[in-house]
Amino acid sequence: MSLPLSDVRILDLTAILSGPYCTLLLGDLGAEVIKIEKPGVGEAGRGMPPYSFEGESAYFIAINRNKKSMTLNLQTTKGREIFYQLVKKSDVVINNFRPGVIEGLQADYDTLKEINPRIICCSITGYGSTGPAKDRPAFDLIIQARGGIMSYTGELGRKPVKMGSPIADLAGGLFAANGILAALHQREQTGRGQNVDISLLDCQISLLTYRAQYYFIGNEIAKPLGSGHGSIHPLRDYRTKTFDIVIDCNTQKIFADLCDAIGAPELAENPKFNSRENRFKNRDELNDILEKTFYDFLSLKYLIH
């Protein structure tokens, strides 16, 4: 059985992370990904420190599997001629250049659709291809900060912290892959391609989900909660004598099971803790109980239980 995108060819002009992660996902689904790099050193990710394997950067290897590679100088007439021949036989062209760069290379959607009306183009930029912020530089940390996700990442009362995973770049790649798949599906009905415009900032704002609604509806400004949750408790990390553990009691049944496991079944019936709402309302008191219990009494048998 063939993979779902085995009949799709993608010309990948991207570098570093957001774009390569998008084409990585599509390549894993079977697409033929042809990575087009600058002559000489190739794309910037090839030189990313500190680790390498057989001369290749570990960073580069991590996000460029299942891809073919070639060098092509799109700033030359000959390079563009070769590129246009590839466009005629391809389905998708993706880039993550700054706005205006792809137009300068004469590889934008308006140009390519004249060569191949079925072509799908995707551009990943920090703030979209239009608007007052479109020319601002955009790196993962900057987008995490501007998108608001850093405002509630980290420990309570301490300064904002970026997520350990480069979520701004990775989310951009995920949304771009989703947009490309939607465009491929729509092309089956229309016979024509389209332009997919991905803004990393838009993607981050989408990931705010319920935290944004808590602000709009409850006027709650998000603050760091550590590993805790803005609605559910207990859901966080706890320290024991040997190592840290995490607990996620999303339902009353799971909370009751936890109470049984720690030898305190009466906690589940306590009016302060007998519902999700009550546990959240009295979370500080419940935290004190659980922190002492886990640190003083947790044993291997309870973990196995």
User: Does the active-site annotation cover 91?
Assistant: no
Which entry of 12, 108, 169, 202 is annotated as an active-site residue? 169
Three-state SS sequence of 86-121: HHHCCCEEEECCCCCHHHHCCCCHHHHHHHCCCCEE
Q: How far apart are CA 216 and CA 12, in angstroms?
A: 39
Cβ atoms of residues 190 and 253 within 8 Å = no
Distance of alpha carbon 264 from its chain centroid, rounded? 40
Closest CA to 45 of 27, 76, 28, 67: 67
Contacts with 71 (C-beta within 8 Å, 6 or more apart), sequence order: 36, 37, 38, 39, 40, 42
User: What is the rounded distance in angstroms from the CA atom of residue 32 to the CA atom of residue 34?
Assistant: 6
CA 22, CA 108: separation in Å to the nearest integer? 18
From CA 114, how far away is CA 130, in angstroms rounded? 22
Beta bridge partners of 198: 124
Query: Cα(120)–Cα(143) distance, rounded to whole angstroms?
Result: 26
List, by residue number, the catalytic residues: 169
